[in-house]
Amino acid sequence: MIDFTKKKFGVISLGCDKNRVDTEKLLAIIRAKGCEITDDISAAQIIVVNTCAFLNESRKEAIETVLECAAYKSENLEKLVVTGCLPQKYATEIFMELTEADLFLGTDDYADFFTALGKTYAEGRVNYVGAGCGDAGTDRVVSTPAHYAYLKIAEGCNNHCTYCLIPKIRGRYVSFPMERILKEAEDLGEVAELIVVAQDITRYGLDLYGQKKLTEFLQKLTILVNINSVRLLYCYPDMIDDELIDEIRSNPKIIKYLDIPLQHSENRILKLMNRKGSREEYLGLIDKLRQKVPGIAIRSTFIAGFPTETEEEFDGLKDFLLKAGLDNCGFFAYSREPETAAYKLKGQISYAVKKSRVKALYAVQKEISFKKLSALVGKTVKVLCDGIDYDNNCFVGRAYFQAPEIDGKVYFNACNAVQGEYLDIIIKSTDGYDLFGCTEDYAE
């Protein structure tokens, strides 16, 4: 019997914030065993790499990370574990080829981590994907800064967009029981900003309760005294209804910010993507949100260079950005993924053209963002302090229209600032992405 309490564990999490939550649950399982977790990967006897497999680039990053970690086998490393999306989807192939790894676990196997790990000491390399019980519990070791955290309320996806592998990796949409995730949120302790995530949070409850329950869940979540504010990510446009909009408007704990992944604006491309809605409906939704929730910040993501996308349709997307005037956007070149419906489409666009179109979209959005942010110069903005930026020798934080890691930041000087607390910052300038300012006492 291996005494794992004498082993040091190092954990690397790749991919999205939803994957991060899985990693945090695994960290809790490791800590509950009484094991030491180290930030120094070179000192670890057991390294876990929790992987993403959404795109070819993410699969490449995952494999490269595993290979880099395998180099430590000449030092302290005894076992290298690969978990998450990559083995979940490609277990058979990578078990045969990625011999540097000793154990493979899928997205539902974290609860059996130590059982599977013990087998590697007794039997050698083990492919444990699909053998786990699926319930990793609600305990977490939060890996974000102490004042904010993510809360994943569902797994999988039913949308079947033609470019996306998520349903083949994570399966059908499964809402987590409301009582369970409310307990998870409460157990997080004091949280200045809780970020609710799933592949599509607006679908929450349909599979479990027979009707959408996001609004009800938010009402119960925001009653918790340890949760100061709630941010909503990944709201699909066709599922945003009046009830949800009214709750966002009237609930003081809900940040007036929505991430709505639109992916494109032109109707023919949207249909090819199997996206619900149209250009006209998207613009109508944006107008409705702004009318009903004054000052709401809207973020979205878009794919450039989808198969058969014409120059006219690309120009239409640029025009849509100008009309929509979104606060923040992410743009991605279409990635041709095997086993997706779009992979088989004729009219694939060259890499160079796709990258050029992404660059052009960012240029359009930069003009929009610069205009919006410039309007804040000279005004006072409420900012949540995220800590100190030592490179720039100042504090750094975020306004309500800035989500962590995906949007811009506010860099500011102050006589004193505490991580997790709000300050009033006088905005002095912007570069079109970030804001720069100071507190009133510092300005004096």
Q: Could you write out the DSSP letters of every residue in 152-218?
A: E-EE--S---TT--HHHHH-S-EEPPHHHHHHHHHHT-SBSEEEEE-S-GGGTTHHHHSS--HHHHH
- Confidence category of residue 138, pLDDT binned at 50, 70, 90: confident
Examine residue 135 and state whether it is found in any structural domain, yes or no: no
Place of tokens 């309490």: 5
CB burial class (10 A; 0-12, 13-18, 19+) of residue 312? exposed
pLDDT at 161 > cutoff 80 = yes
- pLDDT at position 145, please? 93
419 and 279 part of one domain: no
- The two structure tokens encoding residue 256: 């007036």
- The two structure tokens encoding residue 401: 């229209």
303 and 192 part of one domain: yes
Examine residue 218 and state whether it is found in any structural domain, yes or no: yes
- Rounded Cα distance between 212 and 245, Å, is 14
Distant-in-sequence, close-in-space partners of 143: CB < 8 Å, separation ≥ 6: 13, 20, 23, 24, 27
- Rounded Cα distance between 384 and 418, Å, is 9
Distant-in-sequence, close-in-space partners of 149: CB < 8 Å, separation ≥ 6: 140, 142, 188, 191, 193, 194, 195
Give the structural domain span for 420: 380-443
- Rounded Cα distance between 210 and 199, Å, is 19
Q: Which of 165-169, 281-285, 371-375, 407-411 bottoms out in mean pLDDT, i.e. has the lowest? A: 165-169
217 and 364 part of one domain: yes
307 and 389 part of one domain: no
175 and 123 part of one domain: no
- Confidence category of residue 134, pLDDT binned at 50, 70, 90: confident
Q: CB-hemisphere CA count at 13 Å for 92?
A: 0
Contact 36, 8 (CB under 8 A): yes
pLDDT in tens, 13-35: 999 999 999 999 999 999 999 99
Distant-in-sequence, close-in-space partners of 409: CB < 8 Å, separation ≥ 6: 386, 396, 397, 398, 402, 434, 435
Going from the C-alpha of 295 to that of each of 298, 327, 426, 435, the distances in angstroms are 9, 11, 18, 18
Mean pLDDT score of the chain? 95
Helices 242-250 and 279-292: crossing angle in degrees, nearest 10, is: 30
213 and 347 part of one domain: yes
- The two structure tokens encoding residue 76: 């302290």
241 and 326 part of one domain: yes
pLDDT at 382 > cutoff 80 = yes
317 and 435 part of one domain: no
Examine residue 259 and state whether it is found in any structural domain, yes or no: yes
- Confidence category of residue 443, pLDDT binned at 50, 70, 90: low
Per-residue pLDDT averaged across 307-330, rounded?
98
Examine residue 303 and state whether it is found in any structural domain, yes or no: yes
- CATH code, 234: 3.80.30.20
How many other C-beta atoms lie within 10 A of the C-beta of residue 60?
10
- Report the relative pairing of strands 36-37 and 8-13 from DSSP bridges: parallel
167 and 280 part of one domain: yes
212 and 263 part of one domain: yes
51 and 158 part of one domain: no
pLDDT in tens, 223-269: 999 999 999 999 999 999 999 999 999 999 999 999 999 999 999 99
- Rounded Cα distance between 162 and 149, Å, is 31
Examine residue 354 and state whether it is found in any structural domain, yes or no: yes
* Count of domains for the chain: 3
Examine residue 439 and state whether it is found in any structural domain, yes or no: yes
- CATH code, 428: 2.40.50.140
Examine residue 204 and state whether it is found in any structural domain, yes or no: yes
